[in-house]
Each structure stands twice: as structure tokens, then as C-alpha cells.
Amino acid sequence: MDLRHSYLNVIFWPRLRRNRLALFGGSVVLVLFVISLLAPLISPYDPNAINAWKVLSPPSWHHWFGTDELGRDVLSRVLYGSRVSLKVGFVAVGIAVSIGTVVGLVSGYFSGTVDTVLMRMVDVMLCFPAFFLILAIITFLEPSIWYIMMVIGLTGWMGVARLVRAETLSIREMDYVLAARCIGCSNTRIIFRHILPNAISPVLVSATLGIAGAILTESALSFLGIGVQPPTPSWGNILTSGKDYIEFAWWLSLFPGLSILVTVLAYNLLGEGIRDALDPRVKR
């Protein structure tokens, strides 16, 4: 524990702080997180309040992002949509990381038949294009944010499993793991007490990058009409309504599109920065 604490203080944090793009991404992620938490307080209007007198109004001092086809304030809907997108990202990635980490640890530690069976299962899952697999599953379920989070998580754990397996194969041959076996530690204790804390680096990077992917997937599903359903605002279904009026109501597509772009870019920059800071081969 002391060695890991020293590594974070002496190597990881200084290297991460020197990466300006990673700091920018982390700052944007923090701001977005605060905005999603405070959306009910900072939102200027009720996101579902209909105003027939202000249908498709362009951006103005009263409506900074304009209004939609029902007169609803787009800024308020974008702010509330951030809550949906970030919730989907964190929960879906949490499910994927949990499954992938356990599968990778078990596969790498026990190897042999267990490793063969689990990795062939991973190979079979990877044969299916992830987005089309999600589409196929969602079509049989009632559109719901909870189903979307579960399906994205249950179809996105394979990459994490492979990364954790590779780390586990290396770590299980270390002296401290062999010493733990010699003193009679159980397999469960060795896996979760000695191997997992030292294999957490790729998991952290995958989780950060995976949130961006989950947000993109949710936005795409909502855009296609099988994701988060109206009147609940999400960036994807705001874009869906915007495509029908894109010729004369550009703001309906611009602002939710920029929100997706900035959020995904921020998580990718942060994830790349964390990966570089954790990689001893990268010199900064």
C-alpha cells in the first residue's frame, strides 16, 4: 500500500499534471459533472414546459440555445440531458468494468481450461459488432434508460477482460504472489488482495475511455428512437427532433451535438493522459 501511495504521489500525479490536454479534459469532465448535479438549480426553465408562442425561436437573451418545435427551452433540455448521458456512461461502464475485471482475474490466475473457456467466450462476443448487438437486444426490450445501461454494460466488458487477464498473467508470477501462496493464502485473497490492486491501471484507463463510448452509444440509440424516450431529454433525442428542422432551426442540432462532442473529447483526453501517466515507457 505504501509503495502504491508513493507511486501516485511521486510519479503518476506529476506526470498527469504536466499533460495539459489531460488537465483540460479532466477540468471539462469536472465541470460537466457539476452541471449535471446542479441542473435543477441552474436550468432557466422547466425542460418539458411547452410554450406555443415561442415555437422554434432562435437563440436570444431569453432562450440562449433557442427553443424546439414545442417551444421548450433547448438550454434547459441540454442541461437535463447531461444528467442522462453521464448516468448512462457511469452505470454502463461500472457494469462492464465489474464483469470484465472478474473474468480477466479468474482467467489469468487459474489459466488452463478455465482460461481457454473464458477467452473463447470473449472471442465469440467480439465476433458480433457491438452496436448492432445492442440494437438487436434493445429491439426486444421496452425502451428504458435502465435497459440501455444494462445492455451497454453487458456487451462492453470483453476489452476490459483481456486487459486484466494480460496483467494477471504477469503479476501472478511475482515474488509476493508466490509468497502469499506459500503462507497459505486462499485463491480469493490472492486475487483480490494482491493481484487486483496491481492490475487496476488498465481498468482505470478503460473505464475513462469507456464512459465516452457509452455516451456516444446512448446518444446514437436515442437518435434512432430506441433509447431514452421523450419527454425525458437526452442529447440524442434532442438531435432527433432537430433533424426535421435543420434547414431553418440549426440550433436544435448544433448545441446537443456540441455537447456530445465536448464530453466525448474530454473523456478521451483524460483517458489518454491517465494511460500515458501510468505507462513507464512514456517519458514526459
Cβ neighbours, 10 Å, residue 49: 11
How high is the pLDDT of residue 1?
A: 43
How high is the pLDDT of residue 10?
A: 54
How high is the pLDDT of residue 149?
A: 86
Cβ neighbours, 10 Å, residue 259: 22
pTM of the model: 0.84
CB 258 within 8 Å of CB 172: no
| Residue segments in the chain with a per-residue pLDDT below the cut of 50 | 1-3, 5-6
How high is the pLDDT of residue 3?
A: 45
Q: What is the pLDDT of residues 180-207, one digit of tens each?
A: 888 888 888 888 888 888 888 788 888 8
Domains of the chain: 2-278 (1.10.3720.10)
Cell numbers for 83, please give them. Answer: 444528467
Q: What is the pLDDT of residues 219-249, one digit of tens each?
A: 888 888 777 777 888 888 888 888 888 888 8
